[in-house]
């Protein structure tokens, strides 16, 4: 039997390890709560006192993150295709095909979800109407 970690034979050694693990978790929890209180409370106060400015900063932050994300994705795609010895024109064609395919797939999913919602709403309305007519 291995005598490392939690496989030790003596109860007091196991108990000491459990206590140290417990104290570590409690200390990290307290530290996390303190840091989050400082960050979240200050952000909340700023948002409540400056609603329009906070909204603008939030939207600009989201737009900035999206621009960085898509720039990195495009750059990595171009680098990958350049390693495969493809020309820029071929890379653009592949890139546009993939993006158009993704957009069309997204729109198809949205259309299917909307049609399911519409059909469910229609069936529920008809069911309600039939129940209303049978009770009268």
pLDDT tens for residues 103-112? 999 999 999 9
Residue with tokens 């939690």: 6
d(CA 78, CA 87): 10
The share of the chain scoring above pLDDT 70, in percent, equals 93
Considering the entire predicted model, what is its pTM?
Answer: 0.48
pLDDT average, residue stretch 93-108? 91
Closest Cα partner for 114 from 102, 125, 122, 103?
122
Q: Which helix (H) or strand (E) holds 82?
A: helix 51-83
pLDDT average, residue stretch 7-12? 68
């Amino acid at each position: 039997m291995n005598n490392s970690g939690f496989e030790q034979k003596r109860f007091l050694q196991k108990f000491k390890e459990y206590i140290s693990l417990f104290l570590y978790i409690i200390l990290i929890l307290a530290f996390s709560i303190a840091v989050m209180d400082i960050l979240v409370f200050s952000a909340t106060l700023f948002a409540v006192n400056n609603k329009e400015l906070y909204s603008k900063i939030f939207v600009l932050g989201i737009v900035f993150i999206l621009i960085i994300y898509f720039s990195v994705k495009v750059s990595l795609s171009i680098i990958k295709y350049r390693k495969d010895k493809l020309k820029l024109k071929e890379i653009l064609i592949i890139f546009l095909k993939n993006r158009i395919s993704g957009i069309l797939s997204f729109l198809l999913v949205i259309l299917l979800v909307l049609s399911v919602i519409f059909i469910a709403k229609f069936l529920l309305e008809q069911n309600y109407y039939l129940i209303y007519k049978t009770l009268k």
